[in-house]
Structure formats: structure tokens, C-alpha cells
Amino acid sequence: MEKSGSKVFFPRAGIIEVVSVLKRSGMSKEHVLGVVESLNATFIVVDENVIYDKALETALATAPSGFDTYFIALALLTDSLLITDDKGMADNARRLNIDTIFVREATIEEIRARLHS
């Protein structure tokens, strides 16, 4: 994605999800905080107050999980390609006509081509 020059947006609520998953997997607090630092340095992290109204609208339209709602709403707000490994998120995003890649169904070549289009 860096090579394509793509901007990557990430909802701040997503960082909390990443932290929880990493801690449950046994990663140390120091390593988890390093990942958080990397996420903040690499992605454009968008605060909940920017996403909230679109997230509410999205939740009412398709009722995805609360966590998925923030990613879908952010894709809508930024008119971005949504790349996910979550089938439910991909299905809900597609219902809202969001350009979506479900990575389990795409080859790396397909993903690269979509990023460069």
C-alpha cells in the first residue's frame, strides 16, 4: 500500500480492538504499545467524533457489529476502498455499495491492481 501511495484511514476505535486482540494472544504490554505507536505513525487515525454521525446512520442501515460499523462508516466518509478479512464486514459494506476487497477471496495481484487503479 505504501508503494501505491494510498492513504490508509483507521478509526481510533479500531486501535482498541487491536490492543485487545494482541493482549489476548499473550503479547506483552510493551509490544502492544509498540504496535499502537506504529499504527498511529502509519495510518491516518480518525477520531470517533468525526465518524459518529455516519456510524449511527450505517448501524441503522445495515446493523453490522459496532466495531465493523466504524470501519464501514469511515470508508463511506472518505469514499475509500475497504480492505477487510472479515466476511460480515465485507458483506455489509457491499450492501452500502462500498468498494470492498475481502482478502480471503482475492489474490495479492488483484489487491495490487485495485490499489493502483
What is the average pLDDT across 5-34? 93
For the structural domain made of 9-116, what CATH number should be given? 3.40.50.1010
What's the residue count for the chain?
A: 117
Each domain of the chain, given as residue ranges in start order, spans: 9-116
| 96 three-class SS | coil
The Cα 100–Cα 88 span in angstroms is 12
pLDDT band at 52 (very low <50, low <70, confident <90, very high): very high
Q: What is the mean pLDDT of residues 85-107?
A: 94
Q: Per mean pLDDT, which range of 53-57, 63-67, 86-90 is the poorest?
A: 63-67
